[in-house]
Amino acid sequence: MAHPLEQLRDDALREIESARDEQALETARVKYLGRSGTVSAWGEQMKTLAKEKKPVVGKLLNEVRNAVTAAIDIRAQQFRSQK
Q: Are 16 and 78 in contact (CB under 8 A)?
A: no
- Average pLDDT per consecutive 10 residues, the chain (83 residues; last block may be shorter): 90 97 97 96 93 95 97 96 84
Helix or strand run (H / E) with residue 20: none
Return the domain boundaries, the chain: 4-82
Query: What pLDDT does 1 receive?
Result: 61
Please give the model's pTM, rounded to 2 decimal places: 0.92
User: Sign of the CA dihedral 10, 45, 61, 4?
Assistant: negative
